[in-house]
Amino acid sequence: MNITDLSKGFVGMLFIFNTTKNPCFWMKNTMLPLHQYWLVNNTIVHTWNGTPYSINIICSRGDAVLEAPDLILRDGQKISVKATNFS
């Protein structure tokens, strides 16, 4: 949220949950278009193209959600994600 420039090495955000849930997201304070990918066991089960500043709430089942600006992935695709903690 509130990020206007991705040139500083940010690739995306990964939200990891302890169990499979129905997490919900919105783009209210997000200035850039982001793709959202709901994952179950590293397999994409739902995709959504987020619109900047949208208050539409999007929910789906998953044990993780990946938000990224430039990835084009599809439902059913298995992915490997490397998480890095930036402080």
Whether 14 shows a pLDDT value over 70: the answer reads: yes
pLDDT(39) > 90: yes
- Output 72 or 46, whichever has higher pLDDT: 46
Q: Is the pTM of this model over 0.85?
A: no
Domain ranges of the chain: 13-68
Cα separation, 69 vs 84, whole angstroms: 17
Is pLDDT above 60 for 87? Answer: no
Tell whether the model's pLDDT for residue 18 goes beyond 90. no
